[in-house]
Structure 1
């Protein structure tokens, strides 16, 4: 998660499905130095497979789990971490919260958090929920039953629209659905060029474009304990066009193939781009490297 000139890392795993810690690590992007933050308040227990999103200077964490099997040790708590004071707050919203889940996705539209899908006790889900920050209220949004329940999907906002991209629904998928947050209606995009199927990839947006980076393209035969086949390519789609996905051509040294990493938009040397941290490689090794891809639209 990048907020201003700092990147924040919370939770995750180093051994398959074993939460590593509840320490918040911070990378100062101006000095290129890492630090462990001293945090107070309602500090979450160690967990992984949660989602994170930022509004202003606050990082929100929802869900996640502590177990290996689907639904095992899952949470549905929502935490706010103020990056100015380093204070955690366990929020207690009104309304009906999403059920406990992991490997879901979260995005922000106009001071609302949106949570989509993921893996729960009953299996893979396709539901959508919103959290209004101002009123501290959860609200369930309409479900599109045409969307197969999935984990590891991408959820990204472009303007007031949300886009659900690909994910794992028993197999890697490539479909794209749009949710209009004003009319609360779903539509499936018919694209000339489809995204190669994948899940647990990095996703972000710039202007009217959605950018997808890396991800799992072939599931592991060991389930959640092993590494699948990973990609090292990136694709870009203009949401104002039906042309679909275009392979990104880049210079410099491309990071090794991986999935399960985090990406976030940021600026470096006065250029817009994408910051990448960590992930899981083809040898099932958890990574802690950082990369930056400068993007000119």
Structure 2
């Protein structure tokens, strides 16, 4: 899911566990609060789930995901661009070495580059980082920090020119935070006074110098993802070592969930984050929408 201007675009996902839903792009007009199914042309991707999405300008980029039941089965490493002005898909054919096929990875944007981190392959998880230069249509592998445990369901978010890897799942829920300086191409682990409660498959966004984490799977999940879900949100100032603060929110809090996207957006002249769908305690796939306005 991405938010571009006053519209939300959603692609991929599942209603039945591990069965791709469709390759339809759904669009929510946030001014009229109406949904539509877009008629698209071009190189339309096959249905998939566990893919990643990011927006640069008017374009939504989709990378990877999978179609198979088992870990790593049917993984992709293709990269698509969807032009939201004319609803045209383009299968990109970059030079350089592309990331290996994967699912449940994370993607973020710094300047004119997409960054892809981690994810799941057959019988393993990953901790590698790759960048895609939009201007030159080129993949480049970034340095790997082997201190970072291999993981899926992590958060990857940009604050300025820095990338932050937050938590994830490696057979257990994690709560660590690593920073990657995209200029110097160096990694560092953050030491924080207040740590994030361990979690994976959560929503993540940023605002100014802050990182916002919302919901996610939190209970110990020794045999796969069998844990419970959180209903809380945390915020961290990347310019401070104080760490994570529990967010105090007014209004009706959405039910606990994980496996859902959030994206920054503006509503009623307020900055905040938009949430769509997810999976609840009963393993039901949701299709509700929520907006949280945030005043820093």
- Scaled to the shorter chain, the TM-score interval is over 0.9
Offset from partner CA, 1:100-141 (integer Å, 9 cap, x none)? 000000000011000000001251000000000000000000
Question: Could you tell which deviates more after superposition, 119-128 or 20-29?
Answer: 119-128
Matches of 2:254 and 2:69, distance apart in 1:
28
* Residue of structure 2 equivalent to 1:278: 277
Cα 1:219–1:103 shift into 2, 3 Å = farther
| Alignment RMSD (CA, Å) | 1.0
- C-alpha contact (below 8 Å) 2:168/2:175 kept by paired residues: yes
Matches of 1:81 and 1:228, distance apart in 2:
35
SS at match of 2:218: strand
* Residue of structure 1 equivalent to 2:205: 204
* Residue of structure 2 equivalent to 1:291: 290
* Residue of structure 2 equivalent to 1:19: 20
* Residue of structure 2 equivalent to 1:40: 41
Matches of 2:41 and 2:71, distance apart in 1:
31
Cα 1:6–1:269 shift into 2, 3 Å = same
SS at match of 1:74: coil
* Residue of structure 1 equivalent to 2:242: 243
Instruction: Show structure 2 runs of 5+ residues with no match.
Output: none
Q: Does 1:188 align with 2:189?
A: yes
Q: Does 1:149 align with 2:147?
A: no
* Residue of structure 2 equivalent to 1:262: 261
Question: Could you tell which deviates more after superposition, 118-127 or 253-262?
Answer: 118-127
Instruction: Show structure 1 runs of 5+ residues with no match.
Output: none
* Residue of structure 1 equivalent to 2:117: 116
SS at match of 1:164: strand
**How much does 1:221 deviate?**
6.8
Q: Aligned residues, how many?
A: 295
Q: Does 1:170 align with 2:171?
A: yes
Matches of 1:123 and 1:114, distance apart in 2:
20
Q: What is the TM-score with the length of structure 2 in the denominator?
A: 0.98
